[in-house]
Chain A
Amino acid sequence: MGVGNILLKDEGIGVHIARELEKLSLPEGAKVFDGGTGGLSLIDLMKETPRVIFLDAVEMGKKPGAVMRFTLPEVKMATDKIKFSLHQVGLPEVLLLASLLGVSPEVVIFGIQPKDLGWGTGLSPELKKAVPEIVKSVLKEVYKHF
């Protein structure tokens, strides 16, 4: 599930990666979703699966294009800072509400360090260059379960 806003350059990296994955043949039972800015309706999708791999731009203080794989127990989501607005439903809000509702598939997050979050529909050169390696990492994760 690639999430993010493709109108804000690297903020949409999750969606860009999802679109690359959509071009590939994946095993039966693995589905790619462009979650975009789907917000709370993503929770209904999460109900239907035992496992979700989220792809999203994450500020990690790393080199642009760097990827980190983590699970929910390994991170502290800034959920205490949530000022809920339907215009800004990000991954922390979706995951918090999902867990409150008892919707709890196994969640893995691939965080991708963005460089440029300005207005624009393309990726920064560093992120564009990193796309093939990111796709490979995600595929490795997918095939762990098949």
Chain B
Amino acid sequence: MHNVDINIEHVTRVEGHGNIVVDVKNGKIKECQWQVVEAPRFFEAMVRGRNWDELAHITSRICGICSVGHTMASLKATEAAFGITPSEQTVRLRKILKHGENFQSHILHVGYLVLPDLAGVGSVFPLAETHKEELLTVIRLHRLSNDICDIVGGRTTHPISAVVNGFTKLPDPKALLEIKERCKSALDDLQVVASLVKSLSEKIPAFERETEYIALKSEEEYAIYDGVIASTDTGTCPVERYREIVNEYVVPQSTAKYTRHNRDSYMVGALARFNLNHEKLTPLAKKVAEDLGLKAICYNSYMNSVAQLVECVYSVEECIRLIDEILTEGLREEDRRISVKAGRGIGAVDVPRGMLIHDYTFNKDGVCVEANCVIPTNQNHGNIQKDMEALLPTIIDKPQEEIRLALEMLVRAYDPCISCSTHFLEVEFI
């Protein structure tokens, strides 16, 4: 029976600012909190009064890592409001961009943010000595993922050429071919990273807590661009009824909202997608999952990083397939003109960290009058809190430093994008 006093201000190796507070006196837990302290961002208020063709550019700035995801959700919401169905070419290009982002975000997270914990070091710098070739491989993969987004989206971050109903500039077919060849080599590189993670896998804590998992689901493929909302508890639900799923609410310890559905909390992200869609992965991605001991349904939040690595393999393979399809059909300039009308549209995509929804209402001139964004990480905050509450009693007798590391690794496993999640607070003074 001992005392534990942990006050981690601004957990390192996560995006944004969050604190972990643990207070244990004589073996009794007095406090165990995941506090989100990031400043609110006000994007939903910012887009009111803006024209339909500005929204994707504005909302992509919600995040620098998931800017493609926000752009896609935004474009889909606007297109849904105006009754537009983009062409097959546009959808293929958008999927390449989404997969590029998925790969980019995941490899950055696994390679630079999680690997140091598994290797028992404080940051990526010591890995230069102990795992030089693997680190160079991660850097090479990171660069490829940046280039995929650059060539298709016109920019590494905040895609500029993806717009409503098409692309302002089509990628150069030669550049796409080069990306495809580099993607083929990347599959070998990813095996190197997977082998490294496997060799360090005993450092992944064996923690389990049953929870609800929510992600998009599609009949055609492992869903990241399109699908209906699916829950491991309650089955599927159309995207238009998302509010029945997310049920956002405010808690005092967080500047980001929490969500709950069938239980007190739910999880979104790569692990949720894997649990709901694993049978649609490619054979190679399934093999990597099997090699790394990832089996559905997995209730270990720490395995989210492993699911991300599996998705890297899938996303790279999808880039190869989609580039082949685009080049075989031939890239052609398309008429992007649209007509605007009053209406409401909801766009849902599954971005690296989980299900993302943009919900816009327009007036007859195509000006946005109302917006709501449901962010993956704010859907996860409640689950992080519940995980911590379940984990702490099982490790309470360990030395304080070990408890601290386990809790930090738990938060990191979710790969939270905290700045994304603190987007709007409505305060009612009573």
Contacts and interface: CB of A to CB of B under 8 A. Distances in A.
Interface of A: 36, 38, 40-41, 43-45, 47, 82, 84-87, 96-97, 100-103
A101 B132 contact: yes
A100 B125 contact: yes
Interface stretch (B45-53, B140-148, B250-258, B318-326): B140-148
B109 to A, nearest CB: 10
B135 A44 contact: no
B138 to A, nearest CB: 9
Contacts of A85: 12
A84 B123 contact: yes
Contacts of B259: none
Nearest to A36: B156
A101 B108 contact: no
Interface in B123-172: 123-125, 128-129, 132, 135-136, 139-140, 142-143, 146, 156
A87 B13 CA distance: 10
A144 to B, nearest CB: 28
Given A38-B156, A86-B113, A97 B143 contact: no
Interface string B8-22: 000011010000000
B58 to A, nearest CB: 15
Given A38-B156, A40-B112, A100 B146 contact: no
Contacts of B142: 40-41, 44
A84 B125 contact: yes
Contacts of B125: 82, 84, 96-97, 100
A102 to B, nearest CB: 7
Contacts of B112: 40, 86
Contacts of A103: 136
Nearest to A40: B139
The 7 lowest CB-CB distance pairs between A and B, nearest first, are A100-B128, A44-B143, A41-B143, A41-B142, A84-B123, A44-B139, A101-B128
Contact of A44 (B113, B128, B140): B140
B143 A45 contact: yes
Contacts of A84: 123-125
B146 A97 contact: no
B430 to A, nearest CB: 36
Interface size class of B (residues with CB under 8 A): 20 to 34
A43 B135 CA distance: 11
A101 B125 CA distance: 9
A102 B146 CA distance: 23
21 contacts: A36-B156, A40-B112, A40-B139, A41-B139, A41-B142, A43-B139, A44-B139, A44-B142, A47-B136, A84-B124, A84-B125, A85-B12, A86-B108, A86-B112, A97-B124, A100-B125, A100-B129, A100-B132, A101-B135, A101-B136, A101-B139
B8 to A, nearest CB: 15
B181 to A, nearest CB: 16
Nearest to A84: B123
A70 to B, nearest CB: 24
B10 to A, nearest CB: 10
Contacts of B146: 38, 41
Max chain A C-beta neighbours (<10 A), residue from B128, B135, B140, B156: B128
A85 B112 CA distance: 10
A54 to B, nearest CB: 17
A40 B146 CA distance: 11
A41 B113 CA distance: 15
A86 B412 CA distance: 14
Max chain B C-beta neighbours (<10 A), residue from A38, A84, A87: A84
Max chain B C-beta neighbours (<10 A), residue from A38, A41, A101: A41
Contacts of B123: 84
A85 to B, nearest CB: 8
Nearest to B419: A87
Nearest to B135: A101
Max chain A C-beta neighbours (<10 A), residue from B12, B129, B143, B146: B143
A83 to B, nearest CB: 9
Contacts of A41: 139, 142-143, 146
A97 B142 CA distance: 15
A97 B138 CA distance: 13
A92 B119 CA distance: 24
Contacts of A44: 136, 139-140, 142-143
